[in-house]
Structure 1
Amino acid sequence: MKAYQLVIAIPVLFTVQATAQQNSFTTDSHLNFLFKNAMMNRHYSDSDVRTRREWGQAAIAHFTSGFTPGPVGIGADILGQLAVRLDGGRGRSGAGGIDYFSQNSDGHAQSTLRKLGGRIKAKVGQTVVSYGTQQPLIPLVTADTSRLLYETYTGWMLESQDITGVDISAGYLTAEQRKSSNHYNSGLGRLFYAGARYQINSQISVSAYAEHIPQVIDKQFSSFTYTHPISTQQKFILDINGYNSRLTDDYAREINSGRSNIIWSTAGRYVYGMQSFKLAYQQNSGSTGFHYGGYRDKQGLGDGGIWVSNSYWSDFIGQDERSWQVAYSLDLTGLGLSGLSYDLAYVSGTDIHTSASSHGKEREVFNQLHYVVPSGPAKDLQLTVRYSRLQVSADAADYNRGGSDLRLIAQYPITLF
């Protein structure tokens, strides 16, 4: 069943529930709108690569229902998305990392995007099984919401919280809707995933997940988080996480790569009042770098998701790469500027293995200023300015390209009910 068929079926559910007594289907229903104006500009240091820039206006409507009464509750969700291109015509669009508007066969970026999807869901206890348009959010399969429109998938999902402290997730996905295109599927065939997160107590949590994409890759993720409160104003947080990946022979040959990769990172963060200080280390090993995301019809995986410490513009995931990070965050509410925050990070990566050498390097300086209007007519309006400067050594050109990355984002969420 495709997304448009679900949209036809969803009104039937509303008719059924309207004849029943007032219940959580209606009282727990919500309709949210998000208006987003976003621009991303990437200027590359290499003279043979053009500056890429895309800018657009989007409107996203998301209806989520509650569940009908009874042993098995039934519900339905609808997601509608619209985007209009404001800039990024021929010669400026096309950078894979921007991905606001995909290009047509003639090289022109699409001028408008329209997407409509929905899902039906059933709930027993604290377990929900659903089919249709999905937005999974786990370390192996993350539906990206960081660009203009949302990335979505089609398939089955199970989410359960019946066991105290345990969040269980599982899914079988058969299509991926590219965030920058109207096409129903960007080449994904089948993707299986399962895993859980366990909050052991107020200080310790662990997680483990596994993913299988037939004829492509097997991947596992695990994490450990420890929070140590020092005082009412101070705490220390330790995060350790990592991925283990194994490409199939066919896919490795397709992308001219080795097959195995292990990447892990550890980060210590000290929070003192309105300030936060972080130190992190990340390491890659194996016969290839870390592979994630992209689209199957573009030789990508189609899974999405990278939850490691040193990920900004660059993810520092080259073969054998080791990277260090120092970061600082400031919540300016403590200085009387409610809703304003600033983030600064410096990451340095070395030992990148490419066809040119085993000593490639890259380094990035990341800055972000974020403001949420705390009150008044524009309450909850979000304004973000993000800027990164990335330098990549010549012997690592096979892996990455340096330059500058500027993002300007304005988001205004509205809740109707």
Structure 2
Amino acid sequence: MKKLGKPGALAAAVALSLTLPTSPGAHASPFVDDASGSLQLRNFYFNRDFRDTGARPQAEEWAQGFIFRGKSGYSHGDQGLGLDVHAALGLKLASDDDHAGTALLPSALGDEGPGSYSHITFTAKAKISETELKVGGLTPSIPVLQASDIRLLPQTYTGAALTMNEISGLALQAAQLREFNQMNSTNREDMIANIGGTSDRFNYFGGAYTFPAQSPDSTTLGLWRGDLDGVYDQNMINLLHNVTLGNWKLGANLAYFDSDIEAGSTDNKMKSVMLSAGTGAHTFRLGYQHSDGDSAFPYIALSNPYVANYIQILDFGRPDEKSWQARYDLDFAALGVPGLKGLVRYVSGDNIDIAGADKEWERDIDFTYTIQSGALKNVSIQWRNAMVRSDVAGAIDENRLILNYTIALR
């Protein structure tokens, strides 16, 4: 494993951003003129109660994160060469041996763990026309791999990625990833699958065609392939459709994954459906998911699988599991409270093909308030509450309290 950086790397990255000239007339280089940078401050409290008798009673930690994102312009306006940087620092505020293991902080070391951890990545980029190559630190967001940002610091990958948007409505991508940096680690390491197994190669390619392009009422067809070398390979087809009917906005997201797991020569065929209907401040969603196969649905550990019923704690992707979701979202601005948004959802799964296990369910409540004015304007406060009752995972109650504030540096 290779070390990625020290806490001083974040300070150096921020200092570099602040020293770049901000006056468009001060120089003639679009590389600097078009550069941008931001510093995100994230305070994260995590509490998970294990309700089953005999289980460890609780995991509870508190941490502060700093995430710097810097992007240069290109050497020739909207074409040419450029360089991006991503640096992150996590500080332990509260943890001990009896309550460690929330994935906010390194490993599960509690009192013995480090007081801070950090990483830094650089990304070289080259763009010609509407085709761009990036080499270095990457945060992929495609159906076969979505980098996660659900803990203190974001998950990052290292590799090379090519994106092509030469034809209106058609987006093509291909990449090879060699390592990843887990959300609570200083080290780059081989990628790990949720079903077990590691690899130093994840290859993906595919694309999506949207028609009519640039329209809110559109249809998108996507075809993708992902291969975690030596562990699993996965083919995926995705259909999205959005349409406006009067005051209602209707949506459908259909996905089918065909996965072959090399260990044991097993397979998994995942069907995922999410339907939505929104009017004014209200959005209603119904989801269905079937993880059909002898194995659980495979994906890179701690990433965000592109399925309907992957939610706060559970993914409902166990062998042969079928699950349904009901969800309601409300924007409280319509009720006179701008900046406040909330959701409640319930997912029930059954038909699990594991000895001694058959059913599980999860209920989530999520509220986010963004301060609208004053000295704390744009500070967001999020409360996430989840309750799980599962024949496999046991009984879990969880609360997360997250404060976010992003400062534009130039």
Superposed, 1:7-46 pairs within 5 Å as 22-46=28-52
Which residue is 1:84 aligned to? 91
What pairs up with 1:110-121 in 2 under 5 angstroms?
A: 110-121=114-125
Pair 1:410–1:2, CA change in 2 (3 A): closer
Aligned residues: 381
Does the Cα contact within 8 Å between 2:4 and 2:187 map onto a contact in 1?
no
In the TM superposition, what is the alpha-carbon distance from 1:109 to its structure 2 partner?
3.2
Deviation at 1:269, TM superposition (A): 1.0
Cα 1:176–1:107, aligned 2, differ >3 Å: closer, same or farther?
farther
Structure number with the higher strand fraction is: 2
SS of residue matched to 2:141: coil
Q: Does 1:243 align with 2:257?
A: yes
Out of 157, 161, 164, the residue aligned to residue 153 of structure 1 is 157
Deviation at 1:241, TM superposition (A): 1.2
Indicate how the Cα distance of structure 1 residues 76 and 2 shifts in structure 2: closer, same or farther if over 3 A, else same.
farther
Quote the residue 2:196 is aligned against: none
CA 1:319–1:21 in 2, change beyond 3 Å: closer, same or farther?
A: same
Where do 5+ consecutive residues of structure 2 fail to align?
Answer: 21-25, 192-198
Match of 1:189?
200
1:291 aligned residue: 298
Percent identity, please: 26
Is the alpha carbon distance of 1:88 and 1:208 closer, same or farther for their aligned partners in structure 2, counting shifts above 3 Å? Answer: farther
Q: Compared with structure 1, are the counterparts of its residues 107 and 259 closer, same or farther at alpha carbon in structure 2 (3 Å cutoff)? A: farther
Q: 2:386 aligns with which of 377, 385, 388?
A: 388
Match of 1:327 in 2: 327
Report if the CA contact (8 A) 1:2-1:132 is conserved. Answer: no
Q: SS of 2:296's equivalent?
A: coil
- Separation of aligned partners in 2, 1:267 and 1:152: 27
- The residue that corresponds to 1:221 in the other structure is 236
Residues 1:353 and 1:71: Cα distance change in structure 2 (over 3 Å): closer
1:221 Cα shift? 2.2
Give 2:325's aligned amino acid: Q
Give the aligned partner of residue 276 of structure 1: 283
Deviation (angstroms), 1:186: 4.4
Aligned-partner residue type, residue 413 of structure 1:
T
The residue number in structure 2 matching 1:298 is none
What are the Cα deviations for residues 227-250 of structure 1, in whole angstroms up to 9, with x where unaligned? 12012x32111111132211113x
Deviations 1:351-392, CA, capped at 9 Å, x for gaps:
1110225xx111111100111223332222111001011111
Match of 2:132 in 1: 128
Answer with 335-344 or 47-56: which moved more. 47-56
Q: Is the 8 A contact 1:82 1:113 kept in 2?
A: yes
User: Hey, what does 2:398 align to over in structure 1?
Assistant: 405
Q: Which amino acid aligns with 1:361?
A: K
SS of residue in 2 equivalent to 1:131: strand
1:212 aligns with 2:227: yes
Q: Say if 2:376 is the partner of 1:374.
A: no
Q: Match of 1:305?
A: 304
- Alpha carbons 2:325, 2:346 under 8 Å: kept: yes
CA distance in structure 2 between the partners assigned to 1:390 and 1:191 by the alignment: 32
Q: Taking structure 1 as reference, are residues 378 and 325 closer, same or farther at Cα in structure 2, changes over 3 Å only? A: same
Q: Tell me, in whole angstroms, the C-alpha distance in 1 between the residues paired with 2:342 and 2:109.
A: 41
**Amino acid paired to 1:195:** G
Structure 1 residue 291 displacement after superposition? 2.0
- Pick aligned residue for 1:164 from 161, 165, 168: 168
Give the stretch that moved more between structures: 102-111 or 167-176: 102-111
Q: Secondary structure at the match of 1:221?
A: strand
Q: CA deviation at 1:107?
A: 8.3
Is the Cα–Cα contact under 8 Å of residues 139 and 305 in structure 1 kept in the other structure? no
Taking a change above 3 Å as real, the CA distance of residues 191 and 107 of structure 1, as seen in their structure-2 partners, is farther
Quote the residue 1:263 is aligned against: 270
Alpha-carbon offset, residue 129 of structure 1: 0.5
TM-score, normalisation: structure 1:
0.85
Deviation, structure 1 residue 160:
2.1
On the 8 A contact 1:90/1:109 being kept in 2, the answer is no
- AA paired with 1:22? A
Which secondary structure state, in structure 2, belongs to the residue aligned with residue 26 of structure 1? helix
**Deviation string, structure 1 residues 173-211 (Cα, Å, up to 9, x no partner):** 111112211112245411111111221223211212111
- Structure 2 CA distance, aligned partners of 1:211 and 1:35? 33
How far the C-alpha of 1:108 sits from its partner, in A, is: 3.4
Letter in 1 for 2:70: F
Pick the aligned partner of 2:408 from 403, 412, 415: 415
Q: 2: CA distance between counterparts of 1:149 and 1:411?
A: 12
